[in-house]
Structure 1
Amino acid sequence: MFKLGRLREDGHPLHSWSVGRYLGDLAAGDRFVMWVTGTGGGLVGRGRISGAPTKQPGSPVEYWQEDPGDRWYAPLVMDEWLKQPIPRQRFKEDARFQEKSPLATLFAANPHKVTAEQWAAFEEAFANVRDEGVGPSWHLQPGQSIKRKALHDRYGGSRQGGISKCAKSANVLLFTDPKTGHQHGYYDEWAEDGTFHYTGDGQKGPQSFDTLGNSSTRDHVSLGLSLRLFEGSRGTVRYVGEFAVNPDEPYSWAMAPETGGGPLRKVIRFHLVQVGSTTQPPSVPVGCAYRVADESVEPAPAQPALSDIELVVRNLTTHRKLQNDLAAAARIGGLDVFSPGVADPDFDLGWRLTEDDLTVCEVKSLTPANETRQLRAGIGQLLDYQDRLADRVNSVRAVLWVEREPTEARWLALCERVGITLAWPGREDDVLG
């Protein structure tokens, strides 16, 4: 038996759940409700599956009554915890649970399938709890715009600042503004690992987790709060989507100037991952002004060996120089070069031939040891970018720009078959023409 209540009391987030059935049916984006059995049990929360199940040891093992050994676990993100369970009796009296009810088979392995009508009953229960004081349900879809004043009137929170914890609802509102953020030392951007790095709260002096905004962002899962990211900071803002701190590396530290170009100080960089779909509608433009990649890479102090440090620095420096050199060549050729906006997938750079015909580019350094892995990753990323941008522009061309010619010629043919242009320095005309 897993001690879920104790886990939450100790302030730990829930990242996965043991599953024993329907393993092939579980996929990222699937929604679920969490149910606790026994006296005082009932409906306690809901969330989304964040990936395919994997077999692994019981974790954290100290919250199991007995070590369960290796089991299948589905990774997940909790969207909402209820302060009090909604009791089982409420659903037993509902006609939608009279036949084929999952409540009658709770002793069986998880998960339990429900009908569309039963799912609607669970949704209604959450809505009723909010009506009784938890707060209004979320109504915005990615890409929709709203006046910031109206947003706070509905959900609560401060009308100023970048991080706003809501008093009326279980949300933390995050605002990123590429136009004005840099003057306050806020350099929000997509990172090379696919996470969005969001600068913490505090314009002067070193940032810390003593502020409500930073602590609630870091602990949003255990607090039962949803992170809602918006583009813009004043007037009308645009909803990008729901995000969560990366459970493997929630944040890092960096140096940035104070407001108005003041002295450098220590800032928090939250590593955010998308929850579910954040697909933007056709009306949202792609890209923002090109951001030059910083080629002055310094080794991290905690790397295990000197050779590993040198390799990491070498690969990052090479990647960023490749990116900047290609951007410079594109600008010389008269092309409109851009970086991804906060609402876009995290490609490295892009350029426009016309307003509705654009190219997105993924850059990869290559070494003999990582060549195959890098090329595979680049192809997969570009196909994902094309698919996610297909509804927003007329034509999306994909370019995989690598450090040198691959050792195996098959990669050229493979890229050509899937509609990707593979090229390297010296072949600029192949991608910029």
Structure 2
Amino acid sequence: MSAWLLSCNPKKFDIEGHRRDGEVLSSWTIARYVHDVAAGDEFVLWVGGLNAGVAAFGRFTGAAEYGQPDPRYWAEDQSPKHFVPLVVDKWLDLRVPKARLTGDPRMGAATIFRQPFAGSPHRLTTEELQAVRDAIEVAEGEDPVWDLSPGDEIRRVELHARFGGSSQNGIVSCEPTDNILIFTAASSGHQHGYYDTWNEDGTFHYTGEGQTGDQRMARGNKAILEHRETGKRLRLFNGARGTVRYLGEWTLDAEEPYTKAEAPPSGGGDLRSVILFHLVPVKATITARDVEVGQDYVAPDETLAPAPAAPSTPDPDLVGRNLSTHRKLQNLLAEEAQKRGFVALSPDVSDPEFDLAWRDTEGRLTVCEVKSLTRANEARQLRTGLGQVLDYQDQLSGRAPEASAVLWVEREPSEERWVKLCRRVGVTLAWPGEEKSAFRGDQTSPGSSAVGGV
């Protein structure tokens, strides 16, 4: 078996558009080694340009053939060509950047660097293939240089001394490490028109840089947008000055990486256009016991009209009629917790986006997910809510002496099996009229004879 490097010139073939349209990469045109490529050969896909690097790997499924390529993604030269059928085993979340490979002595004779304009494919020696595999392992695994865990606090001056970059900006590309540090701080950000938002679906909308005028996709903003192509990891921190807290590794939403919004400029004035990056967590779970869970409960506005949901929003509770019902249920349950002497909590920036939590006098924590129910969405809501509250309970279990879970719904489910299912996995399923069951943390079925009608 042989190993090959397939090269892509993005000015000639729109590989990103091909992927964005959901097309499956099943073949690649070649200009050399037509009689040498064979089924079972390994390949890596190299995308050239400013952010050159390895974007995928896989294997050939047959010998070279001759035919007409799909003209939709070609900018030029649409004549018949030789091509090799293939299957992609993995598209890399973070591209292996060119610099990581040029710095490896095993790649010193690689033809992609010595003859970059030669036709595809480039033959890889056993040593070169291993160098690429090792670089892919770094891109796909843990960064061996990064030693902060989500929840860790560090002085910002020390952070930059260790990982590079300027301490003056909110978006910082670090050299020589493959990291982009981004800082969020409501206390200082609002005065410059930066309104970052933690969303109920667990995502985070981060305002780009630029304090006056319309924000442009340049400098730090461009660095965030292209972080996958440059192989850089997005590291989020809470705070802008002094001591900051690491909130983990995040990435851009693949379907909708950003939207535009309006915000005032620094110092006030007419509204301007700002960029809102849509970030989703990669490795952002905080487990350290010294990071306290929650903040004093903040009641959501039950009358506030919901914003249009993103196409990928999985939770029906976040749109339309359900949002108002959801918030009313949540606020009433928080009031009930406070009446019973519990401390009602909303999530802080260090927490998963639970709806509500409460803590008793002994420090025991209960985390709660709230769900509205209709006949049409009942099964989906219960299934989603159970998964969410189990996830929250698991994330918080290391930060509280005890962490129990409650799924609070609008009414009694139509099928009793949901109560039994929740009980089997240690979650209390309850609804208005069954408050004692929720606050007792009893896993006995609400409304059953064992509860005695409470």
- Output the TM-score relative to the length of structure 2: 0.66
Matches within 5 A, 1:331-342: 331-342=338-349
Q: Paired residue for 2:323?
A: 316
Q: Paired residue for 1:193?
A: 201
Percent identity for Structure 1 against Structure 2: 45
Does 1:6 find its partner at 2:9?
yes
Q: Paired residue for 1:297?
A: 305
Does 1:159 find its partner at 2:175?
no
Q: Paired residue for 1:30?
A: none
Distance in structure 2 (CA, Å) of the matches to 1:2 and 1:66: 16
Q: 1:279 to 1:323 in 2, by over 3 A?
A: same
Shift of 1:381: 1.5
Shift of 1:190: 3.2
Shift of 1:395: 0.6
Shift of 1:247: 0.5
Higher Cα radius of gyration = 2
Q: Paired residue for 2:149?
A: 141
Distance in structure 2 (CA, Å) of the matches to 1:60 and 1:76: 25
Q: 1:331 to 1:60 in 2, by over 3 A?
A: farther
Does 1:77 find its partner at 2:114?
no
Equivalent pair of 1:386/1:398 in contact (CA under 8 Å): yes
Q: Paired residue for 1:357?
A: 364
Q: 1:312 to 1:241 in 2, by over 3 A?
A: closer
Shift of 1:278: 3.8
Q: Paired residue for 1:409?
A: 416
Counterpart secondary structure, 2:345: strand
Shift of 1:174: 1.0
Q: 1:237 to 1:300 in 2, by over 3 A?
A: closer
Structure 1 segments unaligned to the other structure (5+ residues):
20-33, 38-42, 49-58, 94-101, 107-111, 128-134, 304-308
Distance in structure 2 (CA, Å) of the matches to 1:311 and 1:234: 34
Task: Identify the range of structure 1 (356-365 vs 323-332) with the bigger mean alpha-carbon deviation.
Answer: 323-332
Shift of 1:333: 3.8
Question: For each residue in 1:385-431, what CA deviation from the matched residue of structure 2 results, as whole angstroms up to 9, or x when unmatched?
Answer: 22222222111111112222211122112112211111223433432
Q: Which amino acid aligns with 1:328?
A: E
Q: Which amino acid aligns with 1:170?
A: D
Shift of 1:312: 3.6
Q: 1:211 to 1:356 in 2, by over 3 A?
A: farther
Q: Paired residue for 1:150?
A: 158
Distance in structure 1 (CA, Å) of the matches to 2:438 and 2:398: 23
Q: Paired residue for 2:405, among 394, 398, 411?
A: 398
Shift of 1:350: 1.3
Q: Which amino acid aligns with 2:399?
A: R
Distance in structure 1 (CA, Å) of the matches to 2:230 and 2:388: 33
Q: 1:300 to 1:2 in 2, by over 3 A?
A: farther
Does 1:273 find its partner at 2:280?
yes
Shift of 1:199: 2.5
Shift of 1:313: 1.5
Report the aligned-residue RMSD. 4.8
Shift of 1:365: 2.0
Equivalent pair of 2:197/2:206 in contact (CA under 8 Å): yes
Shift of 1:214: 1.9
Distance in structure 1 (CA, Å) of the matches to 2:266 and 2:333: 32
Distance in structure 2 (CA, Å) of the matches to 1:262 and 1:338: 36
Q: Paired residue for 1:90?
A: 106
Distance in structure 2 (CA, Å) of the matches to 1:360 and 1:310: 18
- Output the TM-score relative to the length of structure 1: 0.69
Question: For each residue in 1:248-288, what CA deviation from the matched residue of structure 2 results, as whole angstroms up to 9, or x when unmatched?
Answer: 11123345555578766544322112224644322222223
Q: 1:387 to 1:4 in 2, by over 3 A?
A: farther
Distance in structure 2 (CA, Å) of the matches to 1:371 and 1:413: 16
Structure 2 segments unaligned to the other structure (5+ residues):
27-42, 47-51, 58-69, 110-123, 441-454
Matches within 5 A, 1:241-280: 241-256=248-263, 265-276=272-283, 278-280=285-287
Counterpart secondary structure, 2:360: strand
Distance in structure 2 (CA, Å) of the matches to 1:66 and 1:350: 61
Distance in structure 2 (CA, Å) of the matches to 1:123 and 1:76: 11
Counterpart secondary structure, 1:275: strand
Matches within 5 A, 1:102-113: 104=126
Shift of 1:78: 0.5
Distance in structure 2 (CA, Å) of the matches to 1:8 and 1:154: 37
Q: Paired residue for 1:369?
A: 376
Counterpart secondary structure, 1:85: helix
Distance in structure 2 (CA, Å) of the matches to 1:219 and 1:286: 34
Equivalent pair of 1:251/1:271 in contact (CA under 8 Å): yes
Q: Paired residue for 2:179, among 162, 171, 182?
A: 171
Q: Which amino acid aligns with 2:320?
A: V
Q: 1:104 to 1:248 in 2, by over 3 A?
A: same
Q: 1:92 to 1:201 in 2, by over 3 A?
A: closer
Aligned residues: 375
Q: 1:150 to 1:345 in 2, by over 3 A?
A: same
Q: 1:286 to 1:150 in 2, by over 3 A?
A: same
Q: Paired residue for 2:238, among 231, 241, 251?
A: 231
Does 1:424 find its partner at 2:431?
yes
Shift of 1:149: 1.0
